[in-house]
Amino acid sequence: MKHFVSMKNLSEHELLQLIKLADDINQNGIEPLQKQVFAANLFFEPSTRTKMSFIVAQRKLGIEVLDFMTDASSVQKGESMYDTAKTLESLGASLLVVRHPEDNTVQQLAEQINIPVINAGDGKGEHPTQCLLDLLTIYQEYRKFTGLKVAIVGDIKHSRVARSNAYALATLGAEVYLSSKPDWQDDSLPFPYLDIDEAVESCDVVMLLRIQHERHEDQSTMTKEEYLENYGLTIERENRMKSHAIIMHPAPVNRGVEIDDVLVECKRSRIFKQMSNGVAARMAVMTKLLEKGGIKHENSFNQRE
Ligand code: CP
């Protein structure tokens, strides 16, 4: 694994290694690097959780974060993403974290850059570190994936989270189901669709998605209340979930749209737990990539195993 740009081509073994490393870091921490290492976070699209948790993860690992801000950089003078990335590589960065509004842009950049590139979300493409923190959250709950029924519910067509999670969960042996408003279905994903009532009643994990308004060409005429009633997680539907089933959402949450406001922090919600897990998940990814490049921790998970 030279870069971390997609979950699609990772094997079950590679996924489980990353999940277990993140779980171990979560429980036991990890010694910071003894060597000076720089990383740059290039966000060409807004972010709160991903950007901030990468910074927390980098500081916990002892990585020095280059203070790159797109709005205050030469990107504003027309410098391309490739030239920006090559510049940071030339200055000594050992790692780039990149978010971009266009699908596949980060994968293409990774093919041209010698240092590891992490996809922090690319358009409707993939969001692999969000997926890893989601997998960690499910693993903490069930300690397995085989046979688990996971429903990914909402704006499937415009969601990079849906894509990464569907591929990875299927590789890990989970039964993946999708549930969506008909015009937000994505037929390129080879997973069966359930209606929302069937999804909430039959699945162990109900993973809701944010409505990606910024990627919609046509604005829906449906009100927020109508969307919640027809396609979202209402209190009445939550009452019909299996007793052990959990609720997930990558956030930001449109409260009262994808999910009733009072359910966001209910007993079965793992939404804020997912955010906390983002730090260990991102520490695990960066640790693996840096190890591959010969930059190791004193007490790495592999040595402890
Ligand atoms: N879940 C997620 O990617 O959130 P941000 O857009 O705030 O990073």
Secondary structure tally for the chain: helices H, strands E: 11, 8
- CATH, range 12-126+275-304: 3.40.50.1370
Note down pLDDT in tens along the chain; length 305 residues.
899 999 998 999 999 999 999 999 999 999 999 899 999 999 999 999 999 999 999 999 999 999 899 999 999 999 999 999 999 999 999 999 999 999 999 999 999 999 999 999 999 999 999 999 999 999 999 999 999 999 999 999 999 999 999 999 999 999 999 999 999 999 999 999 999 999 999 999 999 999 987 778 776 678 999 999 999 999 999 999 999 999 999 999 999 999 999 999 999 999 999 999 999 999 999 999 999 878 876 655 555 54
Residue 270 assigned to a binding site: no
pLDDT at 88: 97
47 within ligand 1 shell (Cβ under 6 A): yes
Residue of 50, 119, 132 to mutate, ligand 1, most atoms within 8 A of C-beta: 50
277 within ligand 1 shell (Cβ under 6 A): no
pLDDT at 304: 52
User: Which residue has a Cα nearest atom 4 of ligand 1?
Assistant: 49
49 within ligand 1 shell (Cβ under 6 A): yes
Helix (H) or strand (E) holding 194, with range, is none
| CB within 8 Å of 293: residues ≥ 6 apart | 94, 115, 116
- Model-wide pTM > 0.90: yes
Distance (Å) from CA 52 to ligand 1 centroid: 9
For the chain, residues classed under CATH 3.40.50.1370 are: 12-126+275-304, 128-271
Exposed e or buried b per residue across 126-157, where buried means at least 16 C-beta atoms within 10 angstroms of its C-beta: bbbbbbbbbbbbbbbbbeebeebbbbbbbbbb
Residue 252 assigned to a binding site: yes
Q: Which residue has the tokens 């990585």?
A: 63
Give 128-271's CATH code, choosing from 1.10.10.10, 3.30.2130.10, 3.40.50.300, 3.40.50.1370.
Answer: 3.40.50.1370
